[in-house]
Chain A
């Protein structure tokens, strides 16, 4: 395991300059977290949809990155990512359509007010 307390300054500089898998994963994690934060806090349905997009793209980055660093080079990661993009697109389409309907019904698209499913 990496013992972070024994790392020297040079090690850190080295690690920062040589872009590797970890950097991609870090990026994806940051994106995912931002998306999740937005999903949990935003009131508007459109913003939440956008946040979902962010999270999906974070996943896509992971897929492509892992694929790149695999010992056997094929395109399964990219393939997955493209699938995911397609699904995301359709999801957005459905989501926006739902948002429209909801706006028509309720006159607002605040997520808080959509509690018809309350038990």
Chain B
């Protein structure tokens, strides 16, 4: 079974694609059949992914010895573009994460989309997304990765804009696509430079060639390539300064936010850096940039999250912040920590989002947490799951986040103290805003007009599964030796630094206590605090005005410049064209004056012409006769 799964890993992305085609063409209008097709296909993919995982664990496949299958996709001249499958432990881990979350989210969607007439379309898009994401994960070269990278981008576009009749959704979808496109531009440039420098985009071949190249030519050129490549992940994984699309992406249906904008697609950037780690790790300058962008993003997003009010928006900023952690881990040289956090984060963040979906649906689309309250009485299961998620993300032992976050903090502490402090501060903020979310929404008195009720079983079951995963995945990873399995260079040793772990747990507990004092015990007034912090609060609440800045940039450099160039086109380029036409017209005016209708004038002109012609021919004749010897 596992051998079959390994050799047929290409089926994993293909099956959901098949579901997309079938649903898209035939069963789009029938909700329940569409859902069944989508779920059954992703379940088979999940089973295959399990098989791959089993094969990877038991077999000889390691990070340095992956399984590779390739087929030619297109060939022109010396350039060969191929598609294929690369299976190593990192791939296997990602396959499991993606298929698990996708499967659970699709089951959840059956309940969530119960009353939506467009559910068939929704399942088609979800399947297409799953397929693209799985294709990205098994990419064997940069081009394949770029292709699927774009595809997941477009699926994200389609799903954010799923409620296409809402202007906000439509604009958010557009924003997401274009912002990530800016990142893709840089990444494409990096890929092209790799292609012309090395003549190949294959990960395995580049793994041999790049270090040799750096050994010979130094890091100068490759640093440029590395930075360009990293722009892609900045866009996709919502790193500063291209993070602006991710909070807006919450306009999509909540299962989409859980699947795409928390657990899978947004980590594609992290995955790409991990996949191309043989390039980045050889370039210290790029590594520093990655670490600082990651660390800064983590902190920056956390400071925004503490003042936001909509449920999903808080989670969105927390996603950005957690993605920053993963980047930070990569930047400080720990692929293992990053991938470990990627996995645990996928589970607990998907859990949090699915809880958010349940809450928001129960609240009749009310998203503001300050309009909720006391939900733990109305939605006990959801509350328990949510609490697990919050504990996991805050890093309370023995929940999943504790192990992965600890690993990141330890890795950061080894490399740079400022980065460690930044990460620790972020951990504190994270615990604070997650506790705030939990306390405000779920504790306190139940409001009188609160419509909340427990959701249906389709939506509850995935929550429970994810909650279990959010508890066990960290400990499992830690004790089963994740580091011996997904690593770069040398195998990572598993150990808990009690100094670091202890301090971060302490910080978390302080943050919890603080949030409790403010939002449950109401010992401090949140409002007064906001006033006390005045300008900081305003900055944070308005997300540091990054969106406004981009609007100005866009208005100036896109719309205004476009208007100027169009003016140029109309008046200069077309002006020349029309001017030429007018010139020809004027010239014809001059010549029409000659045609004055006077027959006698014509005769005169005609006669003059005859005289000239005769004179010319006589002249010629005389010359010829002279040449002939004057016979005349």
Binding site for B on A (CB under 8 A): 1, 36, 39-41, 48, 111-112, 114-119
Q: Which residues of chain B from 590 to 615 have a CB within 8 Å of any chain A CB?
A: 592-600, 603-604, 607
- Closest chain B CB from A36 CB (angstroms): 6
Q: List 18 A-B contacts (CB under 8 A).
A: A1-B630, A1-B632, A36-B607, A39-B600, A39-B603, A40-B600, A40-B604, A111-B599, A114-B599, A115-B596, A115-B598, A116-B597, A117-B595, A117-B597, A118-B595, A118-B597, A119-B593, A119-B594
Would B607 and A111 count as touching, CB distance under 8 A? no
CA of A104 to CA of B319, assembled, Å: 98
The interface residues of chain A lying within 8 Å CB-to-CB of B600 are 39-41, 48, 111-112
Q: Nearest 10 pairs between A and B by C-beta?
A: A115-B597, A118-B597, A119-B595, A119-B592, A117-B597, A40-B604, A40-B600, A118-B596, A111-B600, A115-B598
The docked-state distance in angstroms from the alpha carbon of A114 to that of B598 is 7
Q: How far is the CA of A116 from the CA of B607 in the complex (A)?
A: 22
Q: How many pairs of A and B residues are in contact by the CB < 8 Å rule?
A: 33
Residues of B contacting A39 with CB < 8 Å? 600, 603
CA gap between A48 and B594 in the complex, in Å: 22
Q: Would you give the shortest CB distance from B612 to chain A, in whole angstroms? A: 15
| Chain B: minimal CB distance from A33 (Å) | 11
CB neighbors of A among B89-115 (8 A): none
Residue of A nearest to B601 (CB): A40
* Contact of B603 with A112 in the complex, beta carbons under 8 Å: no
**Distance (whole angstroms) from the CB of A30 to the closest CB of chain B:** 16
CB contacts (< 8 Å) of A115 on chain B: these are 596-598
Q: In the complex, what residues of B have CB within 8 A of residue A48's CB?
A: 600
Query: Contacts A1-B632, A119-B592; is A112 near B598 (CB within 8 Å)?
Result: yes
Which residues does chain B contribute within 8 Å of A116, judged by CB atoms?
597
Give residues 576-602 of B contacting A (CB, 8 Å).
592-600
| B contact residues around A114 at 8 Å (CB) | 597, 599
Closest to B604 in A: A40
Interface of chain B: mostly helix, strand, loop or mixed: helix
Contacts of B594 in A (CB 8 A): 119
B632 neighbours in A (Cβ, 8 Å): 1
A115 to B596, CA, bound (A): 7
Q: How far is the CA of A66 from the CA of B597 in the complex (A)?
A: 37
Q: A1-B632, A119-B592 are in contact. Are A40 and B603 (CB under 8 A)?
A: yes
Complex-state Cα separation, A116 to B599, whole angstroms? 10
Q: Is the CB of B603 within 8 A of A111?
A: no
Q: How close is B605's CB to chain A, nearest CB, in angstroms?
A: 10
* Nearest CB in chain A to that of B593: its residue: A119
Give the shortest distance, in Å, between A114 (CB) and chain B (any CB): 7
Q: Which residues of A contact B593 (CB under 8 A)?
A: 119
Tell me, in angstroms, the Cα distance from A116 to B598 when the chains sit together: 9
Bound-state Cα–Cα, A88 to B603, Å: 18
Q: Which of A1, A36, A41, A111 contacts B598 (CB 8 A)?
A: A111
- Write out the residue numbers on chain B whose beta carbons fall within 8 Å of the beta carbon of A40: 600, 603-604, 607
Most buried by B among A114, A116, A119: A119
Nearest-CB distance from B69 to chain A (Å)?
79
Q: Which residues of A contact B603 (CB under 8 A)?
A: 39-40
B171 to chain A, nearest CB (A): 60
Shortest CB distance B192–A (Å): 61
Supplied contacts A1-B630, A40-B607, 13 more A-B pairs, CB within 8 Å: A36-B607, A39-B600, A39-B603, A41-B600, A111-B598, A112-B598, A112-B600, A114-B597, A118-B595, A118-B597, A119-B593, A119-B594, A119-B596
Measured CB to CB, the closest approach of chain A to B598, in angstroms, equals: 6
Give chain B interface residues in 312-334, CB to chain A under 8 Å: none
Chain B residue numbers with a CB within 8 Å of A111 are 598-600
B630 and chain A: residue at smallest CB distance:
A1
For B607, the closest partner residue in chain A by CB is A36
Min CB distance, B241 to chain A, in Å?
A: 67
Smallest Cβ-Cβ distance to B599: which chain A residue: A111
Q: List, in ascending order, chain B residues with CB within 8 A of A1's CB.
A: 630, 632
Q: Which residue of B lies closest to A41 (CB)?
A: B600
Chain B's nearest CB lies how many Å from the CB of A117?
Answer: 4
Which residues of chain B come closer than 8 Å to A112, judged between CB atoms?
598, 600
Name the CB-closest residue of B to A43: B600
Q: Which residues of chain A have C-beta atoms less than 8 A from B598's C-beta?
A: 111-112, 115
A39 to B, closest residue via Cβ: B603
Per the bound structure, the CA–CA distance linking A117 and B595 in Å amounts to: 8
Residues of chain A within 8 A (CB-CB) of B595 are 117-119
Contacts of A36 in B (CB 8 A): 607
Residue of B nearest to A48 (CB): B600
Distance A5 CA – B462 CA, assembled complex (angstroms)? 127
- Taking each of B593, B600, B603, which has the highest tally of chain A beta carbons within 10 Å of its own beta carbon? B600
Q: How far is the CA of A41 from the CA of B607 in the complex (A)?
A: 14
In the assembly, what is the distance between CA of A29 and CA of B596, in Å? 30
Q: Determine how close the nearest CB of chain A comes to the CB of B475; give it in whole angstroms.
A: 98
Q: Which residue of B lies closest to A36 (CB)?
A: B607
Question: Shortest Cβ distance from A60 into chain B, in angstroms?
Answer: 19
A41 to B604, CA, bound (A): 10
Most A CB contacts (10 A, CB to CB) among B593, B594, B595, B597 go to B597
> Residue on B with the closest CB to A118?
B597
Chain A positions within 8 Å of B604 at CB level: 40
Min CB distance B133 to A, Å, is 73
* B596 partner residues in chain A, CB cutoff 8 A: 115, 118-119
Least distance between A7 CB and chain B CB atoms (Å):
18
Residues of B close to A118: CB separation below 8 A? 595-597
Taking the closest CB of chain B, its distance from the CB of A12, in whole angstroms, is 21
A110 → B minimal CB distance (Å): 11
Residues of chain A contacted by B630 (CB below 8 angstroms): 1
Cβ distance B354 to chain A, nearest Cβ, rounded Å: 83
Q: How far is the CA of A36 from the CA of B595 in the complex (A)?
A: 20
Assembled-state Cα–Cα distance A55/B319 (Å):
104
Q: In the bound complex, how far is the Cα of B600 from the Cα of A118, in angstroms?
A: 13
Report how far A39 CA is from B603 CA in the complex, Å.
Answer: 8
Complex CA–CA separation, A116 to B603 (angstroms): 16
The complex places the Cα of A39 from the Cα of B594 at a distance, in Å, of 19
In the docked arrangement, what's the CA distance between A41 and B592, Å?
23
Q: How far is the CA of A119 from the CA of B601 in the complex (A)?
A: 14
With both beta carbons as reference points, the residue of chain A lying nearest to B622 in the complex is identified as A1
